[in-house]
Structure 1
């Protein structure tokens, strides 16, 4: 049984004529001890997807499809069961730790809170567990007495990871966990996440706009555009030899070490993702696509095989553009 199975997930904000489709038929599978990265520009539906997995979206969102965590459908769980699953079965690391931590509460108290709420420890035992978790993420146990503003950005992010690990979840969802961190701290946080996944055989779903970071951290990558997965496959294959024009644009937007040409002239992509409330007909990427043909405007493209474990939603798959 897979740790996480997402089938035909659709998320819509509003209703009737004002309905806005943010996620449009996403399928994902994650096995224990593996790491799946989800990449895409801002506005492509990545964070909505992450929040939907634990039903953390506002009441205005309508979620359809299936989200199975260890075989149980998250969308049909009672609130009591869902409350038990959050933190204990699956936890989330939000981007921007300063906004996610309570500014007036000591970090030790915040890490201990899920332990106490879920009955995993007595107050005395929770203090010991907090010290253990802090040391596990590379912070001295004494930092439990600090307030968030007394920590650096990298230290606060480590606190968020410690909180996510507190109840020994089987799945961690990391939404842009290294945003706004300098490159040295970013590398430390990414190595820490990799080590924890390997040691504890947990599943990691990591979201980022940076395809290179995901390729270096994850086993598989899914590229998301306009609420859909347009490419999915082995991380290195997607990063280094993307078959979808959007995947290629994301990959080439960042200079590559050892490649002077890409450093001098990194290629990007003009324009922005479409407004979910006004999606173009056919393939949503065609207005920005450098290899679009007439057929791209007629119907949306479904994922199809493009190699071993590699699927792409593009009319050019199997032909030469």
Structure 2
């Protein structure tokens, strides 16, 4: 885990394990994740669907179902979220850290007006008057680029982009120090996606808020975040400065994710777009060794029976690949066979 002398870690995740079910039917969704988000920093977490990203996000504020078993530590300002009493946890949600869920229409209450939904956490956490909470809701709507009059609208009366702005306004309602954004631009068109991303980036910078943002799109994260962690089969397989990971990933999975998105102005990627065959493994039936080796184009024999820890991959970088920092034959196991 990287540290900084200039800034302290607001969020520290230490060896987080999340398992659904128990006994022989236990399914590991997050396997030994360790990450840090410093004060004012933006960390992106990337990976395909099924890699454990959303489980990680929900675990940060203990929003997982009762069937989930958690171990490790989630330190928010030095206090472990996993051991908090219920009353303390309620105080931390919204005021200490808040979350922007994917799919705003499913997260907003269809029978309550937008202004009332934004005002609710203000009333609960600031113990202010309804009139003051209403003024705060209007102020937040204007802050995210919506007119004050939309406070009286119902969710179905807003567009997808407007609803996502409402979700951001709700996340900012109690001045949290950390915002967790779980795929905040899912199902939005490209132009609206860009607007929402610029909005989040601007608000985080203006208010000195830390951001943990989850997406499958490395290009989006590299443009928005300071650092980037790549997640596969419940583990972090690469971490480092966002631009460096996107442009020159050290792990084969990171390279495959980056290559899956054509670059504007790059004729080669436009004429021959690349993807990654197959799907992430079923968490209940993980392959032996490195979990990525069945899909890896440069796998070696050792990869099929030895899991790879995160290794130093350069200044502020680490990657879980046997090829990192080692002199190895260029030919893969698949090629030799």
TM-score (norm 1): 0.99
More displaced 10-residue stretch of structure 1: 256-265 or 39-48: 256-265
Match of residue 55, structure 1, among 34, 51, 62: 62
Indicate the residue corresponding to 1:189 in structure 2. Answer: 196
Q: What RMSD, in angstroms, separates the aligned Cα atoms of the two structures?
A: 0.8
Contact 1:120 1:167 in 2 (8 A): no
CA distance in 1, matches of 2:232, 2:22: 22
Contact 1:281 1:299 in 2 (8 A): yes
Match of residue 13, structure 1, among 17, 20, 38: 20
Indicate the residue corresponding to 1:286 in structure 2. Answer: 293
Q: Aligned to 1:288, what secondary structure does the other structure show?
A: coil
CA distance in 1, matches of 2:164, 2:195: 11
CA offset digits 1:277-308 (Å, max 9, x no partner): 00000000000000001110121111111111
Whether 1:27 and 2:27 are equivalent positions in the alignment is: no
Match of residue 278, structure 2, among 255, 263, 271: 271
Indicate the residue corresponding to 1:219 in structure 2. Answer: 226
CA distance in 2, matches of 1:10, 1:226: 12
Between the two proteins, the alignment pairs up a number of residues equal to: 321
Q: Displacement of 1:121 after TM fit?
A: 2.5
Whether 1:262 and 2:269 are equivalent positions in the alignment is: yes
CA distance in 2, matches of 1:220, 1:266: 26
Indicate the residue corresponding to 1:149 in structure 2. Answer: 156
CA distance in 1, matches of 2:50, 2:279: 9
For structure 2, the residue ranges without an aligned partner over 5 or more in a row are 1-7, 331-337
More displaced 10-residue stretch of structure 1: 297-306 or 62-71: 297-306
1:158-307 counterparts in 2 under 5 A? 158-307=165-314
Indicate the residue corresponding to 2:73 in structure 1. Answer: 66
CA offset digits 1:152-177 (Å, max 9, x no partner): 10000000000000000010000000
For structure 1, the residue ranges without an aligned partner over 5 or more in a row are none
CA distance in 1, matches of 2:10, 2:176: 11
CA distance in 2, matches of 1:251, 1:231: 13
TM-score (norm 2): 0.94
Match of residue 81, structure 1, among 84, 88, 101: 88
